[in-house]
Amino acid sequence: MVIIMNPDASAQNIKDVIEAVESVGLEAKVMEGSQQKIVGVIGDKTKLASVPVDAMDGVEQSVSISKSYKLASREFHPQSSVIDVDGVKIGGGTPVVMAGPCAVESREQLFEAADIVKSAGAQFLRGGAYKPRTSPYSFQGLEQQGLEYLAEARERTGLKIVTEVTVVEAIEQVAKYADMLQIGARNMQNFGLLKEVGKCGKPVLLKRGLAATIDEWLNAAEYIMNEGNPDVVLCERGIRTYETYTRNTLDLSAVAAVKHLSHLPVIVDPSHGTGKWRMVRPMALAAIASGADGLMMEVHPNPAKALSDGPQSLTPEHYREVMNGIWKLSKFMQDEGIAVSEL
């Protein structure tokens, strides 16, 4: 349930509503929109039967939410959220690009990749220090050393850092170096991990699971938000289907669905979504056209020598071509007044 306050509701009105909700053993969370504040009620709403919240001063109306994800629901937060990652705003109308190698392989490789992605306008450097791989014999990442290289790259370029955390024990360490923590597809329903990143105080990028429904994806976001962290960005990266030509099936319809169901920003990863570098550009453009708030792409100075995901990584030249197309399309949409909310 959400309790929608009048635009002119006072701080005392809101405090009274919160106290009334908590008096019957329920949890209240306040979300602020551009016009008014909303008090979200978490728990068994039947307990509010004895509390006349609709008659309280400052209350416009109470609305029941039927979905299992409350905090992530647009019913709870009608305005689209903008997630601020140390000055970079995701969901603000301008596409945000996260680019870089699949894995941090060396200091030189990462610095070269950082310069490449920065030069074409990316705001984030992506790179895995901890790599969950299908085979235990594949390159697993540089771990602590990789995190240090990422921090150095940030100092050199000013790019924000997004990198994956794979286990609860590594959260504190990764959070020291990263501006944004990524939860990978394989961990989307690692509920213990989701709860702990919800407590870490850093924005979280939540990738959709390999075979997750949109409902399951949004419920995973709910685990993070329920721990007090509202700064969640969703990432569509393809799902597993019967198609074998591509690595995954990139579900761009999920962008439109999430925009309808949730207020959270959503970006698209066409690299993992297709597994083929030649398909990254058309899918990246399609993602922006579908209303995505940004992109995550794999870029490597020399994909042929990459220790992981070389076939889906863009060369510097191809990356610049993709970025040129993205900015042109984004400008066209803005000039034509094609807003994400209208898609």
Q: What is the mean pLDDT of the chain?
A: 93
pLDDT at 342: 41
Fold identical between 2-63 and 83-342? no
pLDDT under 50: residue ranges of the chain: 341-343
pLDDT at 43: 80
For the beta carbon of residue 163, count every other beta carbon within 10 angstroms: 25
Q: What is the pLDDT of residues 176-215, one digit of tens each?
A: 999 999 999 999 999 999 999 999 999 999 999 999 999 9
Q: For the chain, report the end-to-end CA distance as a whole number of angstroms.
A: 27
Mention every residue, 6+ apart, whose C-beta is less than 8 A from residue 175: 165, 181, 200, 201, 202
Look up the CATH number of domain 2-63.
Answer: 3.30.70.1140
Mention every residue, 6+ apart, whose C-beta is less than 8 A from residue 135: none
pLDDT at 291: 95
pLDDT at 34: 55
Looking at the domain covering 83-342, what would its CATH class be?
alpha beta
* Bridge partners (DSSP) listed for residue 164: 182
Distance from C-alpha of 287 to C-alpha of 294, rounded to nearest angstrom: 8
pLDDT at 208: 98
pLDDT at 45: 77
The domain segmentation of the chain, as residue ranges, is 2-63, 83-342
CA distances from 302 to 116, 146, 308, 318 (A): 12, 18, 12, 12
